[in-house]
Amino acid sequence: MRLAILGAGDVGQSVADLAGEYGHEVVALADSTSATVDSDGIAVRDVLERKVGDDALGSDDPEDVFGIEYDVLVEATPTTLGDAEPGFTHVQRALEADRNVVLANKGPVAERYAELRALEAESAGSIRFEATVGGAIPVLSTIEDCTPQAVTAVRGVLNGTANFILTRMAAEGLDYEHVLAEAQDLGVAEADPTFDVDGTDAALKFVILANVLADGGFALDDATVEGIQNIPGSALDLAAEDGRTIRLIGEATRDGVRVGPRLVPENGALAVTGTRNIVQIETRNAGSLHSSGRGAGGPETATAVLSDVGRLPPL
């Protein structure tokens, strides 16, 4: 398939880099200021080298992406809240042109799910968004395989930064501020880690899951969200006295979304360590299913995008 990739961060670059391995061709790669567009396929390696060197991706305008022939628009621009722009408009333009869309951008799916589905219904194209929840872990496709109606709840750890901080605090008996600084030095936490530690990032993913379970109806404002900033090392010590630990756990059901620090058994499935993610999919007829793996990272998330491309129905 011919891929047009919007967004040239870690995920967009990795999709471009790995597309050939999955048998696809990249016909456009754009960031917010520049683009390289060629309906015969772009020279991915050269373009990525320019990006690494901080040069413009190419001499084309990002707007030119919508002027060429492509099969799938890969929306990998940064997640924005509220109106989820410009991601939402990108998806809209592709669907209105009867193209397929694969999103790595959480914004539109979390904040404007019903609108996306309405646009999709009018289009010959389809949308998929596995990469928005748990990176490389097949969460949405597992729910799809079980059928969303048979899934009663999804719970788990879907933010590696918060999980890394809690794990280190518990293991080393250190306080939040100390471990956060360490995580920033290691590159695990961003310079501004607010969205990770206040629960917003995890909440967006569980809002997406609730939307899939209930076929829409949720946005970030509907979620009850608490972060880990107020958890001192002593709380983890007390939890350990009783064989428990504290994790930032999200829960999505058809009734709502909740994210917050919770007590879980220290040796239980949900007590993953480091930046690892895990989801527990509770089904009506098959008990609980667990999937664990890397929930973030360029190549990891790109594999989810490319798996989605492979699952698209033919146009």
Residue type, 195: F
Interaction of residue 205 with other proteins, rule CB under 8 A: no
Residues 51-80 within binding reach of other proteins (CB under 8 A): none
Respond yes or no: is residue 205 known to be catalytic.
Answer: yes
Query: Among 63-71, 72-80, 245-253, 304-312, which window interacts with other proteins (CB under 8 A)?
Result: 245-253
Q: Cβ neighbours of residue 20 under 8 Å, at least 6 residues apart?
A: 26, 44
* Residue of 205, 247, 258, 262 with catalytic role: 205
- Of residues 23, 67, 78, 268, which one binds other proteins by CB under 8 A? 268
To the question of whether residue 7 is assigned a binding role by annotation, the answer is yes
To the question of whether residue 233 is assigned a binding role by annotation, the answer is no
To which residue do tokens 């209105």 refer?
A: 96
Name the residue nearer to other proteins (CB basis): 115 or 266: 266
To the question of whether residue 106 is assigned a binding role by annotation, the answer is yes
- Of residues 74, 137, 169, 246, which one binds other proteins by CB under 8 A? 246
- Of residues 22, 235, 254, 276, which one binds other proteins by CB under 8 A? 235
Interaction of residue 286 with other proteins, rule CB under 8 A: no
Least Å distance, CB 172 to other proteins, is: 14
Query: Among 41-49, 114-122, 282-290, 301-309, which window interacts with other proteins (CB under 8 A)?
Result: 282-290
Least Å distance, CB 280 to other proteins, is: 5
Interaction of residue 241 with other proteins, rule CB under 8 A: yes
Q: ω into residue 314 within 30 of 0, thus cis?
A: no
Residues 212-231 within binding reach of other proteins (CB under 8 A): 226, 230-231
Least Å distance, CB 257 to other proteins, is: 14
3-state secondary structure 9-44: CHHHHHHHHHHHHHCCEEEEEECCCCEEECCCCCCH
- Of residues 242, 255, 274, 311, which one binds other proteins by CB under 8 A? 242
Distance separating alpha carbons of residues 136 and 139, to the nearest angstrom: 9
Closest by CA to 6, choosing from 49, 61, 82, is 61
Interaction of residue 310 with other proteins, rule CB under 8 A: no
To the question of whether residue 82 is assigned a binding role by annotation, the answer is no
Least Å distance, CB 252 to other proteins, is: 12
To the question of whether residue 51 is assigned a binding role by annotation, the answer is no
- Of residues 56, 153, 174, 312, which one binds other proteins by CB under 8 A? 153
To the question of whether residue 11 is assigned a binding role by annotation, the answer is yes
Known binding-site positions for NADPH: 106
Residues that are catalytic: 205
The residues binding other proteins (CB under 8 A) are: 153, 155, 226, 230-235, 237-239, 241-242, 244, 246, 249, 251, 260-265, 268-270, 280, 282, 287-288
Show binding-site residues for NADP(+).
7-12
